[in-house]
Chains A and B, each alone.
Chain A
Amino acid sequence: MKKRKLSGYFAVQSMIFTTLIVMFFVVGIIVYYSMLYAETREHITKIGELNAETSAEQIDKYLSSGVDVLRMTGYTLDNMIRNGNSQEEILAYLENQSIAVSNITSGNSPGFYGCINNGYLDGTGWVPETDYAPLERPWYVEAKANIGRVSVVGPYVDSRTHRNIITLSKTLCDVKSVIAMDFSMDQLQKIAEDLTAHGKSYAEIVLNREYKVLAHSDKSEIGKCYFTEPGSFGNALIDELRSTDENYFFLRYEGADYIVYTTTVANDWFCVSVIDATSSLRRLKRPLIFIFAAALTILAVQLVIIIRSNKNTQIAKQLSDDLSEAENAISEKDSRIGEISKLAFKDALTGVGSKSAFNRLTAELAEKHKTSHTPTAVVMLDVNVLKNVNDTFGHDAGDKYLCGCCGLICEIFRYSPVFRIGGDEFVAVLRNADFSDREKLLQKLRDACDESYSHTDRMPWERYSIAAGMSDWLPDEPDIEQALLRADKAMYDSKRSFKERHKELKSISR
Chain B
Amino acid sequence: MKSLSNTKLGLLVLWPTFWTGFPLKLVISLLLLAGGLHPWEGTGLKFLLLLSIPIDMWALGLCARTVLLERLHVEPQPGFGVRLWWQWALFSILYLPLLYYIVGAVVATAQSLSASIIEFLKQNVVTIHIAEQITLDLVLWGSVATLVLLLLLGGWFFGLGALVQRQVRVAVHKDGSFQDMVSRWDSLRVPPDQGLLLTAFTGGGVVLSLIFWGLLPVTTPHPHEEYEYTYVKKVERPVHPKEILKKTKKVLAKAKSVIEELEKKKKEEKKSKKTGGDVKISPKANQGKKSPPSLKSKGV
A and B held together in a complex: no
Binding site for B on A (CB under 8 A): none
Binding site for A on B (CB under 8 A): none
